[in-house]
Amino acid sequence: MKNHPFETNLLNIKNLASVREDENYRFRIFLKNKDSEKVDRIVHRLHDEIIERIDCKLCANCCIQFKPRLNRDDLETLSRMEGITTEVYMTKYCEAFEFGAIYLKTIPCRYVSETKCSVYENRPAECRLFPYTRKDDFTSRLYSMIEYYEICPIVFNLMESLKDELKFSR
């Protein structure tokens, strides 16, 4: 994380993402030719370094940009918090997609207020895992990482650090 400035300003990140779009797709191809396990080790280390410098609770850009997918436990927890049945909760606040995927209906998330999650301790599992940079098989998720690059300061800084570390030719 030495060769690029650490960036948390969301407007700067969005602008840089636009400027670096072609570069990021070239980087995706570059990463596809690397040892996946080696890349995972580097990504996990970078994730741990970066997460110490960024407080997601002060950003919440993912909450503003995405609809979280909900599992059965999430549905039960959120409906209980709302004081309604799971069925009523699903009808009022969710939409179903093929293969049984259930998402909250609205963007931004109904539980974000300014840059704070009002259900942070009970947030959906998908929200807890985002931005998936601690998960294995990073190179199998590069399209989504490029999408998250312009939205999430963790992903932005991780990808920029990874480019430096792997000596990617910009």
User: Which alpha helices (H) appear in the chain, and where do they start and end?
Assistant: 10-19, 21-32, 36-51, 61-65, 72-82, 86-93, 125-129, 142-149, 153-165
Give the pLDDT of the chain (170 residues) as one tens digit per residue.
556 679 999 999 999 999 999 999 999 999 999 999 999 999 999 999 999 999 888 889 999 999 999 999 999 999 999 999 999 999 999 998 878 899 999 999 999 988 889 999 999 999 999 999 999 999 999 999 999 999 999 999 999 999 999 999 98
pLDDT at residue 3 in the model: 60
User: Which alpha helices (H) appear in 60-132, and where do they start and end?
Assistant: 61-65, 72-82, 86-93, 125-129
pLDDT at residue 113 in the model: 86
pLDDT at residue 100 in the model: 85
pLDDT at residue 114 in the model: 81
Give CA–CA dist 113/128, Å, rounded.
17
**Backbone φ and ψ of 45, nearest 5°:** -65, -45
| pLDDT tens digits, one per residue of 131-144 | 999 999 999 999 99
pLDDT at residue 14 in the model: 96
Q: For the chain, what is the mean pLDDT?
A: 93
Nearest to 146, CA basis, from 1, 24, 19? 24
Give this prediction's pTM.
0.91
3-class state of residue 103 by DSSP: strand
- Stated length of the chain: 170
pLDDT at residue 57 in the model: 85
Give CA–CA dist 61/51, Å, rounded.
15
pLDDT at residue 2 in the model: 56
| Domains of the chain by residue range | 10-61+134-165, 69-129
